[in-house]
Structure 1
């Protein structure tokens, strides 16, 4: 039903479909996290083997960094798992917001990565260190960069497809880790060419790149926390509602992301001469059209208002 009671007892034809779709998105997110965790772990293991051959302390630090970063998949996996739980009388919208909390953790980790990369670059600029076993160092940097960049592209792609800002942010986090490994590769190349100063200079450049990634990730999570949506989604919803037979005007349209699903609250104006049953039918039709036209829209509350007669304010406070 489109009124207040409708949000409690939605029609079964869209309720089960949307729930199944949301669960599939969560399952897909968990698969991405599991596979990327495995790739990052293998990458770190390969680097650890190279560390054993080269004896490089710098590579040891980068390897431990990559192991730690692989573990950052844990809070996001917990968030997706929580998001699958049904709503309760306390958490009436479910647990989708856990993704936003995980996103905050990821943004903090990216900021920490930028700080450590900058600190290390400045330290090496003040205290130059000679690199040894350059071939092994370069190989470790290349492995770290390729592994993290593949994970970054995978997470960002799927995160955008299922509407998960936290998964996109985690993909950006993996990209920053790839940058730090790339710094190792470029530093080894600079030392090989006779420019040891290239090590801290490249480190500073990588720090700047990480700060740009941090800006994008923080903005993405901030928008979710503030219930921001793409204005084109609002325009799409208005177009669908306006095309619904019986809808004379479209009032307010409010959309919000909860995890990786959209929720909507909309007002429509229908002829004031209609019976309650007929107005209800129009509202139900509007809801169905919205849920079919907007794939990630999981729940809709439609409020019909009477349009007319002229000069009557139906929302005026009664004496």
Structure 2
């Protein structure tokens, strides 16, 4: 995980930018894909439409969840509201799984009952525009993720990256349909559904890990331990516990210090450890306990 390069106020602004851009793009593509599907009757285009409908629903959830997650800690939520982001990711996983199942069933039905695709060129034009809009949105999202490490925006970006493959496969299906290969449309639609489902499982697993207070990555933990051990008089470090809640990390650790230190000196060493870790990871809330060696 990279070190954040912006203030908390700037992170909040970037998160709002990403969620609002996602909603705007999803609504635009829903309208265009609806028109294209009504004109062509393509199963692969229907897959794209349902996927965009799920994008819109998930992006709206993100918009609300991120706004809630950015609220400061209060009396009822001492650790803040950051897990709202993970809940949004879990809801996204459910929406995406539902869309994948719908498209898969439609693709199987079309394989059993083949139907010709009408006017594929209008569908291809819409998909090319969708690719351009998705690339623009991903550029914004990746910029935001680089500076915020947002779980919700990361889940959203994962889905939109899969949309690029989805859009390309729809174009291929429509071109093959133009050549008279009608089964290609249904096969591509079913294949995309399976791919979307795989992405949904990954999003869900990541969200559940955060909700279950999964430890931060080993490289983060190892660096935090190294920073603590580099402080003078620290004999050892043990019982490091970490978790993530939205934009915030929480770390707890025990320092082993010489018993000969005064209370004031031990407190000073603990403060040095806390500052060393929080300087490297500004999003971390660090709690240090001192033990006599």
Normalised by the length of structure 1, the TM-score is 0.81
Q: Which residue of 1 aligns with 2:228?
A: 241
Once the two structures are superposed, residues 182-216 of structure 1 have per-residue CA deviations (whole angstroms, 9 ceiling, x without a partner) of 44322211111221111111112212221321232
Larger Rg: 1
1:280 to 250, 257, 267: 267
Q: Which residue of 2 aligns with 1:7?
A: none
2:290 to 304, 309, 315: 304
Secondary structure, counterpart of 2:72 in structure 1: coil
Residues 154, 124 of structure 1: alpha-carbon distance in 2 compared, 3 angstrom cutoff: farther
Q: Which residue of 1 aligns with 2:106?
A: 120
How many residue pairs were aligned? 286
Alignment of 1:171-190 (within 5 A): 171-190=157-176
Q: Which residue of 2 aligns with 1:84?
A: 70
8 Å contact from structure 1 (residues 152, 170) kept in 2: no
Paired with 1:149 and 1:136, the residues of 2 have a C-alpha distance of: 20
Deviates more, 1:288-297 or 1:155-164: 155-164
Once the two structures are superposed, residues 33-82 of structure 1 have per-residue CA deviations (whole angstroms, 9 ceiling, x without a partner) of 1122223333334445656xx73344578547525522422221222211
Pairwise CA distance, 1:123? 1.2
8 Å contact from structure 1 (residues 23, 84) kept in 2: no
**What root-mean-square deviation, in Å, do the aligned CA atoms of Structure 1 and Structure 2 show?**
2.5
8 Å contact from structure 1 (residues 144, 182) kept in 2: no
Paired with 1:124 and 1:227, the residues of 2 have a C-alpha distance of: 44
Paired with 2:185 and 2:143, the residues of 1 have a C-alpha distance of: 32
Q: Which residue of 2 aligns with 1:259?
A: 246
1:55 lines up with 2:42 in the alignment = no
Secondary structure, counterpart of 1:24 in structure 2: helix
Pairwise CA distance, 1:148? 3.4
Once the two structures are superposed, residues 8-44 of structure 1 have per-residue CA deviations (whole angstroms, 9 ceiling, x without a partner) of xxxxxxxxxx9x9334323211111112222333333
Q: Which residue of 1 aligns with 2:193?
A: 207
8 Å contact from structure 1 (residues 22, 261) kept in 2: no
Paired with 1:127 and 1:215, the residues of 2 have a C-alpha distance of: 30
* Gapped regions of structure 2 (runs ≥ 5): none
Paired with 1:117 and 1:142, the residues of 2 have a C-alpha distance of: 21
Residues 48, 125 of structure 1: alpha-carbon distance in 2 compared, 3 angstrom cutoff: closer
Q: Which residue of 2 aligns with 1:105?
A: 91
8 Å contact from structure 2 (residues 68, 81) kept in 1: yes
2:137 to 141, 144, 151: 151
Pairwise CA distance, 1:267? 0.7
Q: Which residue of 1 aligns with 2:209?
A: 223
